[in-house]
Amino acid sequence: MPKHHAETTRKNPAGSIAEEALVARITKAREALGGRVVILCHHYQPDVIVQFADHVGDSLNLSRLAASRKEARYIVFCGVYFMAETADILSSPEQEVYMPDPDAGCPMADMARLEQVERCWGELTRLVGETIVPITYVNSSAEIKQFCGRRNGVVCTSSNAAKVMDWAFEQAPRLLFLPDQNLGRNTALAKGIPKEEIALWDRGKARLQGDPNRAKVILWDGFCPVHVRFTPEQVMRFRSRYPGIRIIVHPECTEEVVRLADGSGSTEYLIREVREAESGSVFAVGTELRLVKRLASTFPDRTVYPLDEEHSICVDMSRSTPGRLLAVLEGLLEGRAPGKIQVPAETAEWSRVALERMLAIS
Ligand code: SF4
C-alpha cells in the first residue's frame, strides 16, 4: 500500500535539474527503449508528463491497453497506485509495471481497507445472511478487488456502474458498494431505487445506518476528496452568470451537485460531451482541474470553465514528475529501475476474476 499521505511534501529527486534538460533526457531514454516500453497516462496527470504518453485515458481503458500491448515488456503507468495494480493484474506475466512514484495513492481507495471490509461483511451476513453481492469501484486496492472476486462479486467503473448493479441484482436481492458512496448513491438513485432502500456502512463506528432487511444497496462511506469539494452553490452561480451554460459533472460528486447538473458521467462521458458540442457552446465541468483545462485548450472554439478552480487538483496525481519518470526510464535501460508494482499472485488471481466478470458484463 502506498504511504503517500505522510510524504506529500517530499521533493522531486531531480528537482534541481532544469526541466528542459530533463525533457531531453526522457526523450533520449524513451527512444533507446523503443517498443520495449509503453507509457500510459491518466487524464488527471500534469501536461509535463502527458507530453510523453503513448496513450492518455481513464484507468480501465489504460489497463486494457496495457493488456493488449504485449510487445511492450515494460509498462510505465503515470497515475495512482490502484491503476498500476490493475495494469499489473491484466497484463501478461512477462510484462513489468512501473510507476514514477509508487507513493502516489488514491485517498478514496485507501478508505476501504481489507480488515474493515471483512468486518463489515461479517456483520452484514450476520444480519441478512448470504443475500449480498459485493461490487467495488475500480478505484480500490487489489486486496478489495480480490475480496469481491472470492465472494462472487465484481468490479465496476463510473461508465458501467448501472449495468453492473443490474447484474448484481440478478445474483442477489442486495449489494454492498465499495468504496465510493457517491457513485453508488447516484447510480442507485438514477435507477429509481428509493432512498429508504439505500443504507450506509459507517466504517468509523463499524455500524450500518439504515434497515438491513429493507436495504437493496449498502454503501461504503468512502468518497473522493477532490470531487466532494464541488457544491450546489457553484452550480447555481454558473447558471445565473451564464444563461444557457451546460453543467456536467463526474458521478463521484455529491448527490446534490449531480441533481442540479445537466448531466453526469465518467471521464469519457465528460470528454465526449465537450467534443460533440457545437462551436460556441459554454460548459462548466465538475471534475479534476487538469482534465478540464486540457478540454478547454483542446477545444478552443468552446468555452470550458472549471466548476471550481481552487480545490479540484488531485494531489496524488501531481506526484508524477519529469525527474521521477526519467529515473524509471533510465533505470530500465540500466536494469535497476525504481517503482516496480507487483501484485501478489493470489491477490492478482482473484482480482482478475472480479475484473473479468465486469468485462463480461459490459
Ligand atoms: S481524483 Fe479522487 S478518486 Fe481520483 S485518484 Fe484523486 S483522490 Fe482518487
pLDDT tier, 362 (very low <50, low <70, confident <90, very high otherwise): confident
CB burial of 135-154 (b: ≥16 within 10 Å; e: otherwise) equals bbbbbbbbbbbbbbbebbbb
Which tens digits make up the pLDDT trace of 100-115? 999 999 999 999 999 9
Which CA distances in Å does 205 have to 125, 143, 160, 200, 202?
17, 22, 31, 11, 6
CA of 249 to the centre of ligand 1 (A): 14
Angle between helices 114-128 and 142-150 (to 10 degrees): 30
CA of 237 to the centre of ligand 1 (A): 25
Candidate of 314, 315, 318 to mutate for ligand 1, largest count of ligand atoms within 8 Å of Cβ: 314
Domains of the chain: 4-106+316-343 (3.40.50.10800), 112-222 (3.40.50.10800), 227-306 (3.40.50.10800)
Please say if the pLDDT value at position 278 is more than 80: yes
CA of 53 to the centre of ligand 1 (A): 20
CA of 312 to the centre of ligand 1 (A): 10
Confidence at residue 4, expressed as pLDDT on a 0 to 100 scale: 41
Question: Which residue from 251, 306, 298, 242 is spatially nearest to 275, judged by alpha carbons?
Answer: 298
pLDDT tier, 17 (very low <50, low <70, confident <90, very high otherwise): low
* Cis, bond preceding 194 (omega within 30 deg of 0): no
Which amino acids bring their CB within 6 angstroms of ligand 1? 80, 106-108, 139, 224-226, 288, 314, 316-317
Confidence at residue 20, expressed as pLDDT on a 0 to 100 scale: 86
Ligand 1, closest atom to CA 80? Answer: 5
pLDDT tier, 11 (very low <50, low <70, confident <90, very high otherwise): very low
pLDDT tier, 8 (very low <50, low <70, confident <90, very high otherwise): very low
Question: Which residue from 202, 241, 230 is spatially nearest to 218, judged by alpha carbons?
Answer: 202
* C-beta separation of 41 from 51 below 8 A: no
Ligand 1: residue whose CA is nearest its atom 5 = 106
Ligand 1: residue whose CA is nearest its atom 1 = 314
Which tens digits make up the pLDDT trace of 191-222? 999 999 999 999 999 999 999 999 999 999 99
Ligand 1, closest atom to CA 252? Answer: 3
Ligand 1: residue whose CA is nearest its atom 8 = 106
Judged by DSSP in three states, 43 sits in coil
Rounded to whole angstroms, how far apart are CA atoms 59 and 266? 11
Confidence at residue 65, expressed as pLDDT on a 0 to 100 scale: 86
Which tens digits make up the pLDDT trace of 233-242? 999 999 999 9
Distance of CA 28 to the CA centre of its chain: 31
* C-beta separation of 187 from 135 below 8 A: no
